[in-house]
Structure 1
Amino acid sequence: MAAELKLLPFPPGVRSRQVETSTLSFHVLEAGYSPTRDRPLILLLHGFPELAFSWRKVLPLLADNGFYVVAPDQRGFGRTTGWDTRGFDDVDLSTFSLTNLLRDIIVLVHALGYRSVRCVVGHDAGAVTAAMCALVRPDFFQSVVLMSHPFNGTPSLPFNVANDPAAATSAATSGGGAEGAAADVHADLAALSRKHYKWYYSTASANTDMTSPPTPGGLHEFLRGYFHLKSGSWVRNDPHPLRAWTAAELAQLPNYYIMPLAATMPEAIAIDMAQETDADKQLYQTWLPDEDLAVYVSEYARTGFQGGLNWYRVRTAAGGRYTRDFDTFAGKKIEVPCALVSGRQDWGTYQEPGAVEKMANGTVCEDFRFLRTIDGAGHWVPQEKPEEVAEAILELVRGCK
């Protein structure tokens, strides 16, 4: 039996419950529930290493504006159960595929008694799921807001290879997995004594490294540093998009993105946290006080990180082994109204060069409404600036009438 659910510090009007479906038993947070289902549904999808709890401040703000708002713990996270919990070598990674994550959300929505979603909102890795929702089922998901992770488009498949030998040769030698931004620079990064965090997250040791950190302060201090260093209170300068991913350009990113070669993630975080003053370390209390951080510490101490890390393993697998389902949508654009919201100090927005521009200029989205860059926020924009986030979501939804 799962450990008793910690009494979470929810704002008034937010409640927690389990929703049983044919695929998973979802733990959800919700606000604005109506038994007559007369309120339009907004769905909020968290990233890594987050939980439904990460939306606690946004949920009541949207509910106060007439919506039923639901934030689930996604497959592999928190109190949601029924997914493949086997170890690193035995888990069926195909169950974490893009289309399976989309299926989870559609099944959940039906279980909640709805046949459409007014807006699906995704942050970080959750933005990948949200983009899939909008891309594949524009009849079901009426609009989409992506946060901290722009949509970079659908696959470009080898074209005219049946008639052009040169094209066939090019296709045969083209690169593999879904995360193409850094896929060909690992040797060059290693020569600079660095490595990319997504490929570290895909290693067998990552879960143990992070669940039982080899650094002072254990899991609490690791998560404290991880959240703090990616927040607007830490990043002093505005990030800027890099136009080409050479190893030298990647090496400009902070340690939590391009890690020291021999370091675990907790060790990489500790390097930067050691340079922080006590005053700097207190800045996180303004948006993630200790009682809220304790929720993450408690949950990840109980579950470990492997469920969430499996998402990265799917995306980085050589040859796109687990992302071939995405080829089904080659050339397709997001058709529904779309917006991108990011903290101004969020480096993550620019991990895939040109993605923001492709959304804005119509290359990958047919109805892009606006880019909202929020001052004073870093990567955790729903927690750092919930009022501004809710305002942006409402602006898109109201503009779609």
Structure 2
Amino acid sequence: MSSTRMIKANGIDFLIREQGQGPLVVLCHGWPELSYSWRHQIPALADAGFHVVAPDMRGYGQTTAPPEVAAYSIFDTVGDIVGLVQALGETRAMVVGHDWGAPVAWHAALFRPDIFTAVAGLSVPPPFRGRGKPLDLLRQNGITNFYWQYFQKPGVAEAELERDVGHTMRVVLGGRGLADPSAAMFVHEDKGFLGHGSPEEPLPAWLSEADLAYFTDAFRKSGFRGGLNWYRNIDRNWELTAPWQDAQIHQPSLFIAGSRDAVITGLIGAKRVNELERVLPNLRRKLIIEGAGHWVQQERPGEVNEALVSFLREAAR
């Protein structure tokens, strides 16, 4: 059974879920999620012989949410994971991330190969640092309503998402059963970010009302600003990572995604998934789970756990 506790790292306080003994594995969640998103992985990895730690990431849940937008850069979020490893009394760890947690995991492996000995990313491919700022490139391509853009102005998305947190979580986590999942990534002015979802839609089988209530309660208390501030550093992260242009991640790596995840089915995402080895020369496996969507470790825990256990055991040898 996992336990929770507070721990100080990188100058802020983290809530962590933890279970097991053995080599350290850190699990990094995405937006709008929590350490609870790893509830199926924590016991499975602990049973497989690992010390598993999943934090509420910076700005989420019971972890500190600094007020400044600038406090959510990739250097801050990777610094958090480095700090956690040290606070746990370890010098080495394997790191796994999903959604926004995946860039944290990939960059942790890129920036600190001396600490992070293996890396797995779920849903979001590794960093392919393009030739221009991501938000500039969107505008240059005539795109003005992508959700990244909608999230930029402080207060706008917060107002919509916090109006009815229960509705927000039901739509974002449970109600995206669209024929074209990528449609949910574009915001229509009169509908807002949540305009694609219907509160009447039944929850998917993988998300119970109790699960939804847990997420809803946490975000009612924390609000959404911390998580949205991650998006407000997208262009800044591009600037900060200039020294790693075309760098590779040489540690053993694993990539997992659902076949119906809009992050990997779009033009850019599909290209990146096809070219993973450019950044990951030591890629051990690319697992695309047929029929799964974006919340892959919650939707298909059996397949995800099996792949993670196999990969981490091999990497820990």
TM-score (norm 2): 0.92
Q: Which residue does the alignment assign to 2:102?
A: 127
Higher helix share: 2
Partner residue of 2:83 out of 107, 110, 117: 107
Distance 1:199 1:75 in 2: 21
Q: Would you say the 8 A contact 1:28–1:52 is kept in 2?
A: yes
Give 1:22 shift.
Answer: 4.5
Report the counterpart of residue 165 of structure 1 in structure 2: none
Pick aligned residue for 2:119 from 144, 160, 163 = 144
Give CA deviations for 1:338-371 in whole Å, capped at 9, x if unaligned: 1110112111123434111221xx3111211111
2:260 is matched with 345
The root-mean-square deviation of aligned C-alpha atoms, in Å, is 2.0
Contact 1:235/1:345 (8 A) holds in 2: no
Q: Go from structure 1 to structure 2 and tell me whether the alpha carbon gap of 1:294 and 1:63 turns closer, same or farther (over 3 Å shift).
A: same
Contact 1:154-1:333 at 8 Å conserved across structures: no
- Identity of aligned pairs, percent? 32
User: Which residue of structure 1 aligns with residue 288 of structure 2?
Assistant: 373
Q: Structure 2 matches for 1:249-264, cutoff 5 A?
A: 253-254=182-183, 256-264=184-192
What whole-Å deviation, never above 9, does each CA across 1:277-334 have from its counterpart, x for those lacking one? Answer: x6xx3352x211111111111111111101010110110xxxx445422112122111
Q: Shift of the alpha carbon at 1:101?
A: 1.1
**1: CA distance, partners of 2:173 / 2:152:** 20
Gaps of at least 5 residues in structure 1 are: 1-12, 86-90, 157-174, 213-217, 240-252
CA contact (8 A) 1:99 1:326 kept: no
Report 1:1-400 matches (<5 A): 13-32=1-20, 34=21, 39-81=22-64, 83-85=65-67, 91=68, 93-117=69-93, 119-154=94-129, 175=132, 177-178=133-134, 182-185=138-141, 188-189=142-143, 195-204=145-154, 205-212=156-163, 218-230=164-176, 234-235=177-178, 253-254=182-183, 256-266=184-194, 268-270=195-197, 273=198, 281-284=201-204, 286-315=205-234, 320-321=235-236, 323-351=238-266, 352-353=268-269, 354-359=271-276, 362-400=277-315
Q: 1:350 to 1:184 in 2, by over 3 A?
A: farther
DSSP 3-state at the match of 1:331: coil
TM-score normalized by structure 1?
0.73
Tell me the amino acid that sits aligned with residue 225 of structure 1. V
Deviation at 1:386, TM superposition (A): 1.2
Amino acid corresponding to residue 89 of structure 2 in structure 1: G
The 3 A distance-change label for structure 1 pair 116 and 376 is same
Evaluate the alpha carbon distance shift between residue 289 and residue 321 of structure 1 in structure 2; reply closer, same or farther with a 3 A threshold: closer
Work out the CA distance in 2 between the residues paired with 1:384 and 1:58.
12
The 1:379/1:25 distance shift into structure 2, 3 A limit, reads same
Kindly provide the CA deviation profile for residues 205-243 of structure 1, in whole angstroms up to 9, marking residues without a partner as x: 11111111xxxxx3212211211234xxx2557x8xxxx
Once the two structures are TM-superposed, the CA of residue 181 in structure 1 deviates from its matched residue by 6.1
Contact 2:162 2:168 in 1 (8 A): no
Contact 1:342–1:379 under 8 Å retained in 2: yes
Q: In the alignment, what sits opposite 1:8?
A: none
Aligned partner of residue 259 in structure 1, secondary structure: coil
Structure of greater Rg: 1
SS in 1 for 2:124: coil
Count of matched residue pairs: 313
